[in-house]
Amino acid sequence: DAGVIQSPRHEVTEMGQEVTLRCKPISGHNSLFWYRQTMMRGLELLIYFNNNVPIDDSGMPEDRFSAKMPNASFSTLKIQPSEPRDSAVYFCASSLEGDRDSSPLHFGNGTRLTVT
C-alpha cells in the first residue's frame, strides 16, 4: 500500500499564475478530501468527493479554486489565478466510506505552496 500520493511536494509560483495540485488516493478508497493547513486557520476542509462526485465544496474559498476527480484514482486542485494568501500546505486524504462514519482518513504528505 503506497498510501495517498501527492505531487508536487513543494510549489513556488508567482502571483497570478495557475497552480495545479495532484492527488492519487489509496486504491479501493471511495472518498477523497482536500484540506488546507495554515498557522492562522489550522486545517480547513475545502472539498469532499464520494465515488468521484463532489459532495460538499462549501469550503472552497472562492471561484479561483476548483477541484476535479475524473476517476477513482486521481484528483486535482487548481488555483487560477494564485494569490499570496493562498500560500499554505494542501493535503489530500482518502477513506473507504461505508454505512458508518467511523472510517479514518488517510493523508498524503501534502503540497507546500508558496505564492510570491
The residue ranges that bind another protein (CB under 8 A) are 4, 33, 42-43, 45, 48, 55-56, 91, 93, 97, 100-102, 104-110
CB of 38 vs another protein, minimal distance in Å: 11
**DSSP collapsed to 3 states, 49-114:** EECCEEEECCCCCCCCEEEEEEECCEEEEEECCCCHHHCEEEEEEEECCCCCCCCCCEECCCEEEE
Tell which residue, 82, 10, 79, has the closest CA to residue 46. Answer: 79
> How many angstroms separate the CA atoms of 68 and 49, rounded?
9
Compare residues 42 and 70 and give the one whose CB is closer to another protein.
42
Taking the least distance from each CB to another protein, the nearer of 16 and 61 is: 61
Of 40 and 71, the one with the shorter C-beta distance to another protein is 40
As measured in angstroms, the least distance from the Cβ of 96 to another protein is 13
Q: How far is the CB of 65 from another protein (least distance, A)?
A: 18
The nearer residue to another protein, 50 or 81, going by C-beta atoms, is 50
